[in-house]
């Protein structure tokens, strides 16, 4: 065989590997990796989108704007990424990063916050990156949850919905307001009614019961809520220790200790990885849905942004930790905060400042054995 033939063969093999969906390539590393999507990037189509444009409009925050943001000559910022073209590019970036799935925050079907999900579900390339849902308990009500359970179960019937443990649909339950949510649901045990309803809806569609993960940022409280509500495992949407301009290494040390504290509860665990935490845009220009109290109102509470290699190493460490704890992390999945929490300082999605440096670093890290 000539050198030319060898080069042609190698090129063909590379093309073949890159054409394999990320969810299939993950089989070589055994742990599936997902990233949270909070899709407020719909410009003037909704109040939340307008709030995000306001928060990120100062020039000193332009570097963290998503790649599809636009700036007018007068400095006005438009962040409207709810298009088919943008979703196609995001899918390509996510696949290049080695992600297996996105975890979409759930909102009403016609809510502007659901526009990205709807674009994703309609995109011809959607199979390249699977998806699952994050339900926010604070949005649920006992007398109206049945239609929500049916909607979630319908989404789970899609062939590109992420599953774990031989076919169980992966589902996250976010609960950041334990006391108020307990009041709505007559204590944490009341949420078990919603979980039971969701499980019944999936069974009615011929699916295995969903694998439900409680997202509560305090391990002991997460374990108590999971036990009371009937969830299978615990994790968190995001965690941090209130660093004051602290290095990213301090944040990752806290997160990695969070894994161990979660392990000590005896619960099943889905480890969380953090891409950063810096809410200063929201402190400078508060958003209407937050109270801006405590640490959330202190301009000095943030972590320095990670170098792409640091971020990739942290996520790779989360994967290794998961693989090394098959008994306590039975689902063998990692959840990353976040794909696109640009204003809170947590993102993988390419930005105007960094380009796709984080995507490339993570893709390289996850591609290693």
Q: Give residue-wise pLDDT tens across range 310-359.
A: 999 999 999 999 999 999 999 999 999 999 999 999 999 999 999 999 99
**Residue 15 included in any domain:** no
**Residue 347 included in any domain:** yes
β-pair type (77-78, 70-71): antiparallel
Residue with tokens 């809170």: 344
**Residue 254 included in any domain:** yes
> In whole angstroms, what is the distance from residue 241 CA to residue 141 CA?
31
**Residue 6 included in any domain:** no
**Residue 5 included in any domain:** no
Q: Find the mean pLDDT for residues 252-263.
A: 98
**Residue 106 included in any domain:** yes
> In whole angstroms, what is the distance from residue 275 CA to residue 58 CA?
22
Assigned token pair, 265: 């509860």
Question: In this predicted structure, what is the pLDDT of residue 295?
Answer: 62
**Residue 151 included in any domain:** yes
Assigned token pair, 184: 């709505």
> In whole angstroms, what is the distance from residue 330 CA to residue 328 CA?
6
Q: How confident is the model over 105-154, as pLDDT tens digits? A: 999 999 999 999 999 999 999 999 999 999 999 888 888 889 999 999 99
Question: Lowest-confidence range among 202-206, 313-317, 365-369?
Answer: 365-369
- For residue 130, give the 3-state DSSP assignment: strand
Q: Residue 95 sits in a domain of what CATH number? A: 3.20.20.80
State yes or no: pLDDT of 13 exceeds 70.
no
- For residue 328, give the 3-state DSSP assignment: coil
Q: Where do the DSSP E strands lie in 22-91?
A: 32-37, 70-71, 77-78
Question: In this predicted structure, what is the pLDDT of residue 290?
Answer: 87
pTM higher than the cut 0.85:
yes
- Residue range(s) defining the domain that contains residue 354: 29-367
Q: Find the mean pLDDT for residues 54-73.
A: 95
**Residue 7 included in any domain:** no
> In whole angstroms, what is the distance from residue 36 CA to residue 244 CA?
25
Question: Among residues 191, 209, 211, which one has the least CA distance to residue 200?
Answer: 209
Task: Quote the crossing angle between the two packed helices 248-264 and 219-229, to the nearest 10°.
Answer: 50
Q: Which carries the bigger pLDDT value, residue 110 or residue 12?
A: 110
Helix H segments across 39-98?
47-55, 84-96
| Count: domains in the chain | 1
Helix H segments across 102-172?
115-122, 145-156
Task: Quote the crossing angle between the two packed helices 191-204 and 145-156, to the nearest 10°.
Answer: 40
- For residue 106, give the 3-state DSSP assignment: coil
Q: How confident is the model over 207-249, as pLDDT tens digits? A: 999 999 999 999 999 999 999 999 999 999 999 999 999 999 9
């Amino acid at each position: 065989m000539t050198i030319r033939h060898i080069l042609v063969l190698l090129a063909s093999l590379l093309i073949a590997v890159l054409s394999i969906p990320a969810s299939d390539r993950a089989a070589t590393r055994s742990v599936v990796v997902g990233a949270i999507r909070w899709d407020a990037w719909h410009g003037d189509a909704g109040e939340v989108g307008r709030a995000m444009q306001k928060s990120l409009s100062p020039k000193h925050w332009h570097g963290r704007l998503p790649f599809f943001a636009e700036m007018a000559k007068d400095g006005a910022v438009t962040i409207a990424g709810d298009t088919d073209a943008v979703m196609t590019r995001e899918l390509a970036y996510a696949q290049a990063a080695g992600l297996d799935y996105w975890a979409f925050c759930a909102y009403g079907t016609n809510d502007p916050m659901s526009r990205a999900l709807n674009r994703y579900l309609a995109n011809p390339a959607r199979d390249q990156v699977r998806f699952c849902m994050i339900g926010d308990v604070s949005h649920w009500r006992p007398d109206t949850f049945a239609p929500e359970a049916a909607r979630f179960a319908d989404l789970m019937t899609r062939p590109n919905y992420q599953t774990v443990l031989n076919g169980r649909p992966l589902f996250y339950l976010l609960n950041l307001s334990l006391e108020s949510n307990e009041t709505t649901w007559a204590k944490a045990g009341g949420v078990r009614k919603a979980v039971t309803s969701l499980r019944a809806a999936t069974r009615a569609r011929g699916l295995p019961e969903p694998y439900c993960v409680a997202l509560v940022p305090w391990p002991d409280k997460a374990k108590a809520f999971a036990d009371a509500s009937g969830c299978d495992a615990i994790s968190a949407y995001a965690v941090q220790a209130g660093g004051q301009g602290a290095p990213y290494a301090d944040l990752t040390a806290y997160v990695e200790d969070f894994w161990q504290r979660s392990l000590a509860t005896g619960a099943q665990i889905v480890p969380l990885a953090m891409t950063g935490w810096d809410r200063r845009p929201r402190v400078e220009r508060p958003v209407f849905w937050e109270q801006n109290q405590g640490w959330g109102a202190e301009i000095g509470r943030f972590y320095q942004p990670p170098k792409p290699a640091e971020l990739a190493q942290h996520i790779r460490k989360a994967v290794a930790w998961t693989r090394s704890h098959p008994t306590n992390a039975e689902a063998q999945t990692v959840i990353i905060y976040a794909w696109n929490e640009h204003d809170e300082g947590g993102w993988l999605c390419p930005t105007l400042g960094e380009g796709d440096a984080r995507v490339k670093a993570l893709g390289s890290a996850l591609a290693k054995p």
